[in-house]
Amino acid sequence: MRDYMTALQRRFHIKSEQAVKLKREAEKAYDTLHDTLTREQQKLLLRLLDAEERLRDEEKLDAFFSGFKLADGIHRELGAPYSYEAEDEERAREIFRREQEQNE
8-state DSSP, 101:
H
Q: What's the predicted TM-score (pTM) here? A: 0.55
Question: Is there a contact between 45 and 37 (Cβ–Cβ < 8 Å)?
Answer: yes
Element (H, E) at 15: none
| Angle (nearest 5°) at CA 4 between 81 and 74 | 35
Distance, CA of 78 to chain centre: 28
Does the pLDDT at position 82 exceed 80? no
Question: Model confidence over 65-76: pLDDT tens digits?
Answer: 888 888 888 878
Q: Which own/partner contact pairs does 32-39 have at CB distance under 8 Å and 24+ positions apart?
A: none
